[in-house]
Amino acid sequence: MSDANEPSVWDDPPAGADFTIRLPEIPRQVDLDAVDPASVDAALRSVVHDSLLPVTTGLSVLFMFNMVLHLIFVSMPYAAYISFLAATSAVGALLLRLFLRTMPSDHPRMHAVSGLVVGVVLGHTLFTQIITGSIPLTQLTLLLVGAGVIIMSRRWFAGFLGLTLVLWLTLSLISFPLADLVIPGISVGAAAAFSTMIHVVRRRTNVRAEELRLVSESQKEALREALAAEERQRESLAESEQTLRDTMSDLQSAKSTLERREEELSEMVTALTEAKKQAEESSRIKSAMLANMSHEVRTPLTAVIGFSEILAEETSGESQHFASLIMKSSRRLMETLDSVLKLSRLEAGKVQLNRQSLDLVEEAEAMILEQSNRADAAGVKLDLSTYADSCTSTLDHGALQRILRNLVGNAIKFTDEGGHVIIRIGHSAHPPTDAEAVRRGAQIHVLDDPPERATHAVLQVEDTGIGMSASFQEKMFEAFHQESQGLSRSHEGSGLGLSITQRLIRLMQGEIYVESEKGEGTTFTVYFPLDRFRSNGRSTTNGISQTDSSASDSPSSERSEPVT
Domain boundaries, the chain: 37-224, 355-482+493-529
Alpha carbons 82 and 97: distance in angstroms, whole number: 22
Alpha carbons 391 and 217: distance in angstroms, whole number: 60
| Max avg pLDDT among 5-9, 208-212, 319-323, 394-398 | 394-398
Quick check: pTM over 0.85?
A: no
Alpha carbons 188 and 170: distance in angstroms, whole number: 14
Better-scored residue on pLDDT, 348 or 199 = 199
Alpha carbons 57 and 96: distance in angstroms, whole number: 9
Question: At the topology level of CATH, where does 355-482+493-529 sit?
Answer: Heat Shock Protein 90 (3.30.565)
Alpha carbons 468 and 514: distance in angstroms, whole number: 10
Name residue 469's beta-bridge partners.
none
Reply yes or no on whether the pLDDT at 116 is more than 80. Answer: yes
Residue 458: its pLDDT value, please?
Answer: 92
Residue 562: its pLDDT value, please?
Answer: 53
Residue 548: its pLDDT value, please?
Answer: 41
Give tens-digit pLDDT for 153-173. 888 888 888 888 888 888 888
Give tens-digit pLDDT for 32-82. 555 677 777 787 888 888 888 888 888 888 888 878 887 776 666 677 778
Residues 6+ apart with CB under 8 A from 369: none
Q: Closest Cα partner for 346 from 141, 173, 522, 564? A: 564
Alpha carbons 513 and 431: distance in angstroms, whole number: 11
- What are the start-end ranges of the E strands in 445-510? 456-463
Contact 161, 192 (CB under 8 A): yes
| Whole-number CA gyration radius for the chain | 39
Alpha carbons 288 and 346: distance in angstroms, whole number: 10
Residue 544: its pLDDT value, please?
Answer: 30
Question: Phi and psi of 496, rounded to 5°?
Answer: -110, -15
Task: For residue 435, count CB atoms less than 10 angstroms from its CB and return exposed for 0-12, middle for 13-18, buried for 19 or more.
Answer: middle
Residue range 14-27: mean pLDDT, rounded? 50
Alpha carbons 560 and 564: distance in angstroms, whole number: 12
Banded pLDDT at 346 (limits 50, 70, 90): low
DSSP 8-state symbol, 535: B
